[in-house]
Chain A
Amino acid sequence: MKLPLLTGLCAGLLVACSGHRANVADNVRIRWDADPETLDPLRQPTKASSEAENLLHLSLLQVDYAKSSYSPGLADSLPRIRLVGDSLTLLTYRLRKAATWDNGQPVLATDVAFTLKLMQAPGLPNESIRTQYNFIRELRADPNDARRFTLVCQGQASDFAHTSGDFFILPEAALDARGTLRRYRLADLIGRSASAAPDTVLAALARRYAAAAPGRRPERLPGCGPYRLVSWEKDHHLRFQRKPQWWADSLKPLPAVLQARPSQIDFLIIPNEASAVLALRRGDVDLYPDVPAREFNRLRQSDKARQTLAFYTTLSHNVVTAGFNTRRPALADRRTRQALALLFDVPSLLAATQQGLGQRTVGIISPNTRCNYADSLPPLAFAPGRAVALLQQAGWRQKAATPTARWTRQGPSGTVQQLALQVRYRAEETAFETIGLQFRAAAAQLGIAVELRPTEASSLKATLQQGDFDLYIKAVQGNPYIFNFTSILHSQGVGEANLTGFGTPASDRLVEAVALAYSPTVRSRLLRKLQVLMREEMPMVPLFFENNRIVANRRLRNLCPSSMRPGYAAAAITWGPQATLQ
């Protein structure tokens, strides 16, 4: 009766034993944990979709993973910046002469203008990108050079030079062959109200875009990137193939950001981590980014795994942060916040949750950016004793003499404030839960009641924005070249991205000054000042920076492990000789 199962098993084994699929030629297979959902160039909802679209499309400036900075991609150099008055920035770009679409047509300023308008046109899936790039108000084409143009940007900020070149350029001919969008002004499209009368031309464009469905059939809206999508099995497998003839092949010397070496790149979607590790060990996968810290160390300590695998870590720009709700009366004064910040045992947490693969920090600037990092500040200590002293300075008193009695203090107008905290973090995040449990245990010793409230991912942001928390724990993503913290630290961002509700006139001025600073020395001086101010006010407690952890086949070369997402350059990878395997 168990015969069928046994026979099936045996048959399976026989086939399986012969089925170890070795890698052929210079293909690279990369593990993803989820489907990219869409390959629409106007939106990248997931990490996977932005990585995949970087293979299909090019932007004016491309991220150079080896240097962790922006380098010219379609543009032939970084833009020339000219400030006009105190509210306008002019950025002048020129496209590379060699750059062409797949049909041989050159990439021109008209394509850039078309893309900018597409990003603002109604009825397209551009809601996210629309607000991101609405500072570009106009494209002034150079009448003498079809590849030269100037972007007129509203406002002034040091990051415009990078962000203004960071969107994919799309071919006008593929979507709007008759140039119907040319008679609209960019500023009009930006200012178009939702209740404006329907416009037949714009509606026709939206219909054409929807019919082309570039999110699912990217081949209908070809980019000028080096790869094209060959097959896409939803939730399972994507395959990209190198274009046999790509315009950048003729460039001498070839810029690092325009390298495209693997003839085929496969992304295998393996949601479960244990399965992904096994697939990597068996050679079904060549590269596994974002390996959980525990698995990373276990593999690194296994002799057998070390024979075939190589290990890379780089410090990422993700900082795990605890933030106080400064709108709560009990947390409104900085002494209380400073006291509570002393209850995080950061070295132990770093060792326990990241297996030591991370770095402590004094502020939201990565310790890797030496010039900007405030190294004069000491890292936060775990000091419950000092916390008690600070709480008493802040006016808190315990009801009884026992160490675990509750804390209260007199607020203004005779109210009595209680020191009891509700901690919110994303459910399913065990690292944050460990941090919460450690904080809770440390606080319980002092008599502070802490309630952990893991919150379901999709409702977490709204809950935090409404201020329904005392303390949150989340990872804040940053990057090494944009220093505009207006959205998360400025008092204008309260109710949106500024979750702590913090903002004093002094801090607001400092945040604005940082965003405007063009000179690196001035900026680094201001950034250090900002970190000192944040430590003093303590609206948020940056705990540690996480590492990017990549495990790859030993023979892979030129991964360019980088602090920036996704942490490697898939298109630059080559294979080393077979001999190094042993």
Chain B
Amino acid sequence: MRAAPWVTLVPGARTVALGWLALLGALALLAPVLPLPYPPAQPDLAHISLPPFAAGSTHWLGTDPQGRDVLAELVFGTRTALGLSVAAAVLASAAGALLGGAAGFWRNRLRLPLVSGVGLLGGLWWALALPGAGAGLVVAVAGLAGSGWAPARRPPRLPVPLDAVVLGATALLGAVPRLVLVVVLAGSVALGPAGLLGVLVLTSWAGPARLVRAEMLRVGVQPFVAAARALGLPPGRVWWRHALPAACAPLRTAFPLGLAGLLGLESTLSFLGMGLPPEVPSWGRLLNTARLEPTAWWLVAGPGGLLLLTMLALQALSRPASAHK
């Protein structure tokens, strides 16, 4: 089998990629003890927008328009990049693959036992404290208990339009500008790290989901899936073991590319005052300061280069091992 195209950049691409990611991980872990000349998030007001390697200065990589040391921001930004952006990209891809894969596999033909459906509705009724909430609770308990017992007896089933729901949700997310999201969330307090991760995943799972769904439409009719079905395997197993791994192929390219988008989104949120607090360094924020100083190439080169290398490394690693010859 031939390798996917652009990963054979270097013969030992995989090793190099692993090495790069390990280096980043080490940087992130060791950042506080590294002998950096300047701490992060501390403006050196006497040196604003200093180019790198300026004579007589220990700002080796220069400073940004607010006087922060670029080197310190880059090193400490690694923590944010790995902890937030990469994590969000992984989670978003996983969520997208599961939802998109399920939607593409079952389309609108999935059925849920009626009793559990009613139980869920009852639970919702109770949670919203609508009139007669107690009755809702009873229905919920009864319904959920019933669904535990029901599958053996083929009860009446409720069709679940899974495909339509997933498609609708992706359409909704795609159509709502991020700024509206900000409008809605702006009144609330600044997001914690977990909340921020949640927002990032919430806004970015739709892309992978659509990709996987489209691929699943194709994979679902391939001979090997049909064969697995014909063997009488349960649909869930066919989906998980056979169809889904094949349908995730487009994600290999999309995942590293999505990282760049996530970094951008994270810095946009920070820019609007609802992302990371300004004292937390991040590559995205550093890239963003280039807005103030369009001629300061070093503000783009540093984080942009790191981002590019990370994307290439992830790309090399995301290739299936079987592709190696």
Contacts and interface: CB of A to CB of B under 8 A. Distances in A.
Given A294-B65, A427-B272, A453 B190 contact: yes
B273 A430 contact: no
Given A352-B45, A459-B186, A294 B293 contact: yes
A351 interface: yes
A437 B66 contact: yes
Contacts of B190: 453
Nearest to B294: A274
Contact of B42 (A294, A352, A430, A441): A441
Interface in A424-454: 426-428, 430, 433-434, 436-438, 440-441, 451-454
Contacts, number: 69
B60 interface: no
B67 interface: yes
B278 A433 contact: yes
A459 B43 CA distance: 27
Contacts of A352: 43, 45-46, 48, 66-67
B182 interface: yes
Interface string B258-277: 00000000000001111001
A456 B182 contact: yes
A516 interface: no
B292 A441 contact: no
A241 interface: no
A455 interface: yes
B182 to A, nearest CB: 7
Nearest to A454: B273
B41 interface: yes
Given A456-B186, A456-B273, A436 B67 contact: no
Interface residues of B, number: 26
Interface in A341-382: 345, 348-349, 351-352
B289 to A, nearest CB: 8
A456 B273 CA distance: 6
A434 B186 contact: no
Contacts of B49: 294
B292 A294 contact: yes
B187 A459 contact: yes
A338 B279 CA distance: 25
Nearest to A298: B295
A456 B277 contact: no
A458 interface: yes
Contact of A451 (B45, B273, B277, B289): B277
A437 B273 contact: no
Contacts of B187: 459
A433 B277 contact: no
B180 to A, nearest CB: 12
Contacts of A349: 45
Nearest to A441: B42
Contacts of B292: 292, 294, 430
Nearest to B47: A352
Nearest to A433: B278
Contacts of B67: 352, 434
Contacts of B66: 352, 430, 433-434, 437
A454 B43 contact: no
B43 A437 contact: yes
A455 B189 CA distance: 10
A71 B272 CA distance: 42
Contacts of B186: 456, 458-459
Which of B42, B45, B46 gathers most chain A CB within 10 Å?
B45
A437 B279 CA distance: 7
Contacts of A454: 273, 278
A392 to B, nearest CB: 25
Contact of A437 (B271, B278, B294): B278
Which of B43, B46, B66, B271 gathers most chain A CB within 10 Å?
B43
Contacts of A440: 41, 279
Contacts of B293: 294
A369 B41 CA distance: 38
Interface in A407-432: 426-428, 430
A124 to B, nearest CB: 28
Given A452-B279, A458-B186, 17 more contacts: A294-B292, A345-B45, A351-B46, A352-B45, A427-B274, A430-B289, A430-B292, A433-B278, A434-B66, A437-B42, A437-B278, A437-B279, A441-B42, A452-B277, A452-B278, A453-B277, A454-B278
List the 3 shortest-distance A-B pairs measured between CB atoms, nearest first: A427-B273, A454-B273, A348-B45
Interface of A: 274, 292, 294, 345, 348-349, 351-352, 426-428, 430, 433-434, 436-438, 440-441, 451-456, 458-459
29 contacts: A292-B292, A294-B292, A348-B45, A349-B45, A351-B45, A352-B43, A352-B66, A426-B273, A427-B271, A427-B273, A430-B289, A433-B66, A436-B278, A437-B42, A437-B43, A437-B278, A437-B279, A438-B43, A438-B45, A440-B41, A440-B279, A441-B41, A441-B42, A451-B277, A452-B278, A452-B279, A456-B182, A456-B274, A459-B186
